[in-house]
Structure 1
Amino acid sequence: MKLPNKIGVLTSGGDAPGMNAAIRAVVRACAYNNLESVGVYRGFQGLIEGDFKELNARTVKNMINRGGTFLKSARCKDFLNAEGRRKAFDNLKRENVDALIVIGGDGSFAGASVFGKEFNFPVIGIPGTIDNDINGTDYTIGYDTALNTVVDAIDKIRDTANSHNRLFLVEVMGRGSGDIALNAGIGAGAEEILIPKLNMGLERLLDSLNRSKKSGKTSSIVVVSEGEKIGENILELAEYIEKNLPEYEVRVTVLGHIQRGGVPSCYDRVLASRFGVGAVDALLRGETNVMMGIIHNRIISIPFSEAIKGDNTIDEELIRVADIISI
């Protein structure tokens, strides 16, 4: 594979704290290696529309501490079509861009993989999603920041729960993976954690809440991962608990998109920087159609086909810890 002279970088899918730090690292790694770099605005949509801007080490100053993505992100149905991908390829060639780094999640990598193979175009992925649900990496950019945001919010909710002897159901993001729910639940001292994969069931939840009440707890926090089907939705779950355990006064908090925003944590800034430099290094080694990952604190590259085949498994040891310390 011909080594690149000009590298494009874009962010795709949901935003995540640390994406700007990753862009910054890519651009400065390019500058360090005497390569040109160009930013693609609005993800694959900008790729199709030719929305490019030249970047250099100075244009990305003061970006490492900013949440979101200054390149912006967008969903793009046109990239699913061969015609749309052809337009994207033509725009890249017109701008003399000969390699692409995509920062996003598994959906973004699926599109990038098809594009790379279709046009024999070098593509590298950097995992950026708060859900931490990509196979082949211990952590994704944004997960640590989101986790701390959730724990901070639950800490505040517990003050109110304790003051009024209430049961709070707190819905968090994370899709079906449940990493945010499980780790934030442990970190914030939740009495129960509901995750789709664990399939806890209503009766076990009621039994657990009954035990908490009998043990002398006057308030409780239950963390619910979005996608949990123990009730049709979290409001119906609250109604069910109140109906069967009338001694509880139940309140619902859906944290929503507050979990995506905010200043990235130090860990996410460092991880994003390592991924950004690693992605440029991978291209200079002649690699393509791979995602950067971190396993046992080592930066690795794995094929897109491995990264997008499924999410990480739930940590059984953490489940056991959660059960023990919630008595």
Structure 2
Amino acid sequence: MDLRQLRYFVTIVEVGSFSRAAQVLHVAQPALSQHVRNMEMDLGVELLFRSPQGVRATEAGETLERHARLILNQMEVAREAVKGGQNEPEGEVRFGLPGTVSQMLCVPLISEARRRYPKIKLRVAEAMSGFVLDWLREGKIDLGVLYRTVSDRNLEARRVLSETLALVGPARPAGDLLGTDEPPPGPVSFTTVSHLTLILPSPGHGLRALITEQAQAESAHLSTVIDIDTYGQIKMLVEGGLGYSILPVAAVQAEVQEGRLRQWPLGQPVLSRDLHLVRPCDRPLSNAVRAIEELAYITLIRLVQEGAWPATLVNPEEEYSRKS
């Protein structure tokens, strides 16, 4: 095997199709197929499972993909080192973001990255925090944002901000629709929330885990009638009077300002969650990754300082930490 074959293989797995990979790589599809067959013959195992819906890696293929990503990343770092560390950063950077972070960070980050670093190709992937963490562990992304600390020895986390969560309800009284009394105007306890009809992210979602943990700490049992992982759909259902939810203040500020939703402070002290910028520490980082990492940190701080993101900044001197 050579580096070219590894790069071809990783691309095929990423896009899940020989034809799409051929377009991305600008290589004839028969040539790609031949490269994979040669690799399978060389290793003596099947690397890809082929079906009418596309291709995906076998167990052996997943193992090869992980190692191939590490090798290709190290070669990129070596190339940059040879060319000189003072050169303008260039190359591809893969950044994983939860949906709520993406809607706040993605546009300003990409815009500023294009202006500052035109030779960097920034690829942003959006998913729930659990998937972002898995991608970091598997080497599928170079940087990620998580709403929880990490316990992996191979990852470092830098806490950037803390954002407030709120109980969210329809703009008009929903007692008649939901058969429940309106929450009081002040900070609402989880005991009160336990009597409300709730629409929340499904179990396994990072926000749901935080909410459940806090409710259990207050001996409150929450009752959900709808589990849905898309914040946009949750807000639409709440606005329609089908229930209440618990969401970040930043995620509902537009709807609250427009009078479409209402919000109540939740808990005493008010419930919040921390946002962490996470990077791997088991492999060298290219200049391009380091540049985007610092730019993401600066952009997050600016969004908070300008009031675009209702949150509190943590100690600006706080550096990355990892599990020892």
Q: Which category of TM-score, normalised to the shorter sequence, fits these structures?
A: under 0.3
Could you tell me the TM-score, scaled by structure 2's length? 0.27
Flag the structure with higher strand content: 2
Bigger Rg, which one: 2
Q: TM-score, normalised by structure 1?
A: 0.27
